[in-house]
Amino acid sequence: MFRKTIIGAVSAWVIGVLIVSQATEEKETSSQNVPEVCTLGTLSKIYEPVLFSHGQHTLMAEDCATCHHHSEPGVTLACKECHGAPFDPKNLNMPGLKGAYHLQCMGCHQQMSSGPVGCTDCHAKRISQQTGMEKK
């Protein structure tokens, strides 16, 4: 009986070590070639692009899939890879890029009661080249 308990405990420990080392390896592998800061500005008309601190957010997130949802393990796609098409009212489950940014970022900030949620909390107003005044 004692021998079976020892064998079971050692087996459980080995399995635990393997699981932890695998998770650590996946985290290290997926963090390679990850930008520290991303400029989110492909859709900006009224506001300046947002400088998104990707590195800071990777430290806060449990893993890449926290934000890069629906990605296969070890494969992390940029948001525009899935949300590159403009919003299609016939497919409400797939927001366009602008909607995906706002839903993901603001939703998390609201859930955590931390981080910007207002337009000008992230975006500076764009200045019109012609008039030198803020665009409305």
The closest of 56, 18, 16, 14 to 35, measured between CA atoms, is: 56
Give the SS3 label for residue 134: strand
Please compute the mean of the pLDDT values over residues 107-123 and round it to a whole number: 91
pLDDT the model gives residue 29:
38
CB-neighbour burial class of residue 73 (10 A; exposed 0-12, middle 13-18, buried 19+): exposed
pLDDT the model gives residue 8:
44
CA angle 24, 83, 110 (to 5 degrees): 70
85 has a pLDDT exceeding 50: yes
Spatial distance between the Cα atoms of 42 and 39, rounded to a whole number of angstroms: 9
Contacts of 52 (CB under 8 A, 6+ apart): 37, 38, 39, 40
Q: What is the pLDDT of residues 24-79, one digit of tens each?
A: 333 343 456 778 888 887 656 778 888 899 999 999 988 888 899 888 888 889 99
CB 48 within 8 A of CB 130: no
DSSP state of 125: B
pLDDT the model gives residue 22:
38
More confident residue, 97 or 28: 97
9 has a pLDDT exceeding 80: no
Q: What is the residue-averaged pLDDT of the chain?
A: 75
- Residue 79 Cα distances to 54, 93, 100, angstroms: 12, 15, 8
Q: What is the pLDDT of residues 98-110, one digit of tens each?
A: 899 999 999 999 9
pLDDT the model gives residue 83:
92
CB 58 within 8 A of CB 65: no
